Amino acid sequence: MIERTTIASLDKFEDQKVTVCGWVEKIRDQKTVQFIVLRDETGSAQLVREKVDRDPVCELISALPAESVVSVEGVVKLDPRVKLGGLELKVEAIDVLSKAETLPINEETSLDKRLDWRFIDLRSRRNRLIFEVQTELERSYRKTWESEGFIEIHSPKLMAAASESGAELFRVDYFDTSAYLAQSPQFYKQMAMAAGFNKVFEIGPVFRANPSFTSRHDTEFTSVDVEISWIDSHEDVMNFEQHLLTEMLGHISETFQDEIFSTFGVDVVVPKLPFPRIKLSDAIDLVERSGHKVERTDGDLDPEGERRIAEFVQREFGHQFVFLTDYPATVRPYYHMRHPENHTLTKSFDLVWKGLEITTGAQREHRYDILVAQAEEKGLELAPLQFYLDFFRFGMPPHGGFGMGLTRVLMILLGLKNVREVTFLYRGPNRLSP
């Protein structure tokens, strides 16, 4: 590796000669002295060079474009008057490793144009923090899965048929036939239950051919999926999910609380257990009594309803999360199990965090005959589903699970409004590049 001292550790090298490497954030080229602010992945520091006529180092600095990548040799001087970390580096030599052109974006640039130049946009400490938090968030999930003996699966993204409704499906030219991109690992994580894997998780891409341009939609995103066998009901699935999220938020609070607050102005609140649970029908009553007429006629809640129920839960229980349970079968897929005492209701739930839905989960119907009947009741053609229905013909344990959008959780955690900001490279109907 290039022998370099990271900027965060410069204070340990007082009066010593070191090499620092990074991006030129700013240059102030004054009459008698030149300053460079240099940035690496650990922070920024001020470099200084006394200005002397015809000094090749000074001339190089004068001509150096911002955001060029340089390697700089110099001596560390601690100086409490320097605002940036209380030290500066007296420059002795500079090597330009990669000269930058004039930047196409600045802090005023619109989000869409910043996405055109995402690699420059991601250089800010603010944006890098998003992905440090994401890395830590996934790490925390994995610790919970590890301690509970989960197996990780990588399910295929190329399928012969639709995994869900058949709408919003991307078609792929597949040799002499067509394949489709998986909209979720739903069928395959259930297959792992048929295989006796007991508890599985997957973090991977899913694809939705959704032509909408809202701040919450994208055509490709990272999904966090969990499936568990030997459950009694969807209550067990909710119990596991609230555990997973509480562990994660505790961990993020410990590691990033202060920086998230100073950067994004949001508190990371570690939720109390259990999360409040409200039947969907009760939630709709509550919302309507609060003066909002739910506009959907299919029995589901609308986004304004989700916001109001979240307000109610915050007020009554002091909680940011609420499980809405027992959705009507009309708004749920055929494979959600129904309540034995009321076949119009499913053993399913959504999880709402700060007014936004982050999860759909359920106990799945594991009895072949009932599953087939429910598919027929929905008017589905069975032939394309047969490969999935087959999973239930040779011994399937009771099971359930949930899917959770990684970027959506990250967006809410950081108080951001647009999924594009928390996605490494956003994909939408008009965006496939860079």
- Binders of its own copies among 72-101, rule CB under 8 A? 97-101
Q: How far apart are CA 258 and CA 255, in angstroms?
A: 8
Nearest of 24, 76, 26, 34 to residue 55 by alpha carbon: 34
Q: Does residue 194 touch its own copies according to CB under 8 A?
A: yes
**Would you say 405 is a known binding-site residue?**
yes
Ramachandran category for residue 32: left, alpha or beta (phi over 0 → left; psi -120 to 50 → alpha):
alpha
Q: Does residue 434 touch its own copies according to CB under 8 A?
A: yes
- The only residue of 30, 32, 106, 433 in contact with its own copies, by rule CB under 8 A: 433
Site for its own copies, residues 297 to 316, rule: CB under 8 A: none
- The only residue of 44, 198, 281, 314 in contact with its own copies, by rule CB under 8 A: 198
Residue positions counted in the chain: 434
Whichever of 29 and 132 has its CB closer to its own copies, that residue is 132
- The only residue of 18, 191, 413, 419 in contact with its own copies, by rule CB under 8 A: 191
Q: Does residue 340 touch its own copies according to CB under 8 A?
A: no
Site for its own copies, residues 272 to 301, rule: CB under 8 A: none
Q: How far apart are CA 292 and CA 288, in angstroms?
A: 5
160-194: b (≥16 Cβ within 10 Å) or e: ebbbeeeeebeeeeeeeeebbbbbbbbbbbbbbbb
Site for its own copies, residues 223 to 252, rule: CB under 8 A: 230-232, 236
Applying CB under 8 A, the span of 79-87, 164-172, 273-281, 355-363 interacting with its own copies comes to 164-172
**Would you say 360 is a known binding-site residue?**
yes
**Would you say 325 is a known binding-site residue?**
no
Q: How far apart are CA 307 and CA 305, in angstroms?
A: 5
Distances (CA, A) of 143 to 248, 294, 404: 9, 40, 17
- The only residue of 27, 29, 37, 40 in contact with its own copies, by rule CB under 8 A: 40
**Would you say 408 is a known binding-site residue?**
yes
- CB of 244 vs its own copies, minimal distance in Å: 15
Residue/partner pairs of 76-80 with CB below 8 Å, 24 or more apart: 76/10, 76/11, 76/13, 76/14, 76/15, 76/16, 76/18, 77/14, 77/15, 78/11, 78/14
- The only residue of 18, 72, 94, 159 in contact with its own copies, by rule CB under 8 A: 159
Whichever of 27 and 78 has its CB closer to its own copies, that residue is 27
For residues 324 and 346, is the Cβ–Cβ distance under 8 A? no
**Would you say 5 is a known binding-site residue?**
no
Whichever of 211 and 318 has its CB closer to its own copies, that residue is 211
- CB of 177 vs its own copies, minimal distance in Å: 8
- CB of 387 vs its own copies, minimal distance in Å: 4
Nearest of 163, 155, 238, 240 to residue 189 by alpha carbon: 155
The tokens for 20 are 């620092």
Q: How far apart are CA 157 and CA 204, in angstroms?
A: 9
Nearest of 328, 331, 208 to residue 279 by alpha carbon: 328
Whichever of 118 and 308 has its CB closer to its own copies, that residue is 118
The beta strands (E) that lie in 105-241 are given as 151-152, 158-159, 171-174, 177-181, 199-207, 220-229
- CB of 321 vs its own copies, minimal distance in Å: 21
Using alpha carbons only, give the angle 407, 410, 413 rounded to the nearest 5 degrees. Answer: 150
Q: Does residue 170 touch its own copies according to CB under 8 A?
A: yes
Whichever of 220 and 304 has its CB closer to its own copies, that residue is 220
Whichever of 30 and 102 has its CB closer to its own copies, that residue is 102
Distances (CA, A) of 128 to 85, 87, 377, 408, 431: 20, 24, 49, 17, 22
For residues 225 and 201, is the Cβ–Cβ distance under 8 A? yes
Site for its own copies, residues 99 to 138, rule: CB under 8 A: 99-101, 103, 117-120, 122-123, 128, 131-132, 134-135, 138
Whichever of 142 and 292 has its CB closer to its own copies, that residue is 142
389-401: b (≥16 Cβ within 10 Å) or e: bebbeeebebbbb
- The only residue of 33, 160, 273, 373 in contact with its own copies, by rule CB under 8 A: 160
Q: Does residue 379 touch its own copies according to CB under 8 A?
A: no
Applying CB under 8 A, the span of 270-278, 284-292, 317-325, 387-395 interacting with its own copies comes to 387-395
Applying CB under 8 A, the span of 180-188, 254-262, 274-282, 294-302 interacting with its own copies comes to 180-188
- The only residue of 5, 34, 68, 346 in contact with its own copies, by rule CB under 8 A: 68
Give the number of C-alpha atoms closer than 13 A to the C-alpha of residue 111, restricted to the C-beta side. Answer: 13
Binding residues for L-aspartate: 164, 208, 360, 364
